[in-house]
Amino acid sequence: MDVYGWAQAFFRIEDPKTSEKVFYVVFRKLEEVESIASTIRCQSWSAAFYAIKVSSVLDIVGIWEYSKHIYMLRKHPGLVILSNEEKEQGHFDEDEGIYGL
């Protein structure tokens, strides 16, 4: 089952024994998720905060709140033919733990 959420913060934890850096995202989960005619919508955000490894995030989607519902926006199918430069996606700076252009 997919989990949809609203990212609130990102942080990095370094294991003192192995020096491995693990990146996490803190998010509020969407509750009462339903799929109607291949449209995903829900009623509300969770009051609780959750954290997962950034590597567990499958994709970034748009969110639109309208008329007492929250909708997940689909990506345009033409995005798959674009290169990263054309998508204007930045690179990840390991030292800083941030994305840049």
| 9-21 pLDDT tens trace | 999 998 888 888 8
Q: What is the predicted pLDDT for the residue at 87? A: 65
Alpha-carbon torsion, ordered 72, 40, 77, 84, to 10 deg: 40
| Residue ranges of the chain with per-residue pLDDT less than 70 | 1, 38, 74-76, 84-101
Say if CB 42 and CB 31 are below 8 A apart. yes
Q: What is the predicted pLDDT for the residue at 100? A: 52
